[in-house]
Amino acid sequence: MDSPRARSFIEKRDTERGAFEIRSEHVDQLTVENFSLVTGENCKMKNLVLFVLMTFGSATFISPSFAGPTGQTTPLGIDPEAAIHYRSMKVDGVDVFYREAGPLNAPVLLLLHGFPTSSQMFRDLIPRLSDKYHIVAPDYPGFGYSAAPDRSQFAYTFQNYANIVDKLMQQLNLAHYALYVMDYGAPVGFRLATMHPDRVTAIVVQNGNAYDEGIGSFWDGIKAYWKTGAPKEREGIRWLMTYKATHWQYTNGVRDVTLVSPDAATVDQALLDRPGNQEIQLDLFYDYRTNIPLYPEWQAYFRKHQPPMLIVWGQNDEIFIAPGAKPYQRDIPSAEIHMIDTGHFALETNGPEIASLMRDFLDRKVSANRQ
């Protein structure tokens, strides 16, 4: 648990933007909390924690001292611009973790994750695009490796998440970016887009909703909670934070479940099971009600600004259902739609296909416009 490699994850290191630090006490707390969950009868959690620790222990983190010219490899045989960096930055006093890769002068692609995951959902997509794009993928507070402030000290709302991501990009001095929005990433990203329409160069939508047609029966219990805000209805949807529900999100609607790595659901669940995290997630389910009234505003933004849009939609998704994809073309007739025979987390089964579609789209709509 205290291996040199594990320690290297939390050491302070420098970037061109200045010093940053992934706080050791935050990482240590995560590890201790996870271990506290496995000392009792919950044997399943032991495997979750071991996986997380093995990930930390086996990862190689590249320090700036190995950096070389673009396209050249370091003494370790690594192209520094192809490496994924795991960083953290304070935003409004909150430690926000983010993955970053790609040339600093390349067009920026901001990846916004969904529930119940984090930026780890992009672990395979990032290296498929980072040769040509400067990629930033943050974890929202309460997700992944970002801090999870007490609910009395931090408002877990989609507007607050949009504000945090907005300030992160400002602190990184990234003024323009294409968006990838999935699930929760859609209300965060569309809030950003309506706040700063001039900053968004393109949008990739993957099972991210902005139309009434995309809300199916999955939401019935959550809608009941929206209506009352009462403890009974809150408890009625707590099952959505169980491993059974997490695993279902990854495998439902998938033609071949052997294509779905168990690592993703395992890591997601380990972080969901941290003390207090379920209450954070329940707060967010309740706040999701604030997104529905904003659909007309987002649609007006689409009509007015006509951002280049690529839609890749897992057509068997029961959370944001397939009829939610086509309406985007009502407001952006040029939107490109690709329905994929898979479920909610389409990257897990169709990652190479989606990366190829994105590369073609971004090359035509973003890179070409910079030249």
Query: What are the residue numbers of the active site?
Result: 344
- Tell me how far CA of residue 362 lies from CA of 112, 253, 291, 335, 354, in angstroms: 17, 28, 27, 13, 12
Work out the number of other CB atoms within 10 angstroms of the CB of residue 254: 21
Q: Are 336 and 312 in contact (CB under 8 A)?
A: no
- Residue 257 CA to residue 244 CA, distance in Å, equals 15
- Residue 138 CA to residue 96 CA, distance in Å, equals 7
- The single residue listed with the structure tokens 């849009």 is 309
Identify whether 307 is preceded by a cis peptide bond (ω within 30 of 0).
no
Residue 298 token pair: 């987002």
Counted residue by residue, the chain has a size of 371
Parallel, antiparallel, or unpaired for β 94-101 and 134-138?
antiparallel
Q: Which amino acid is at 364?
A: R
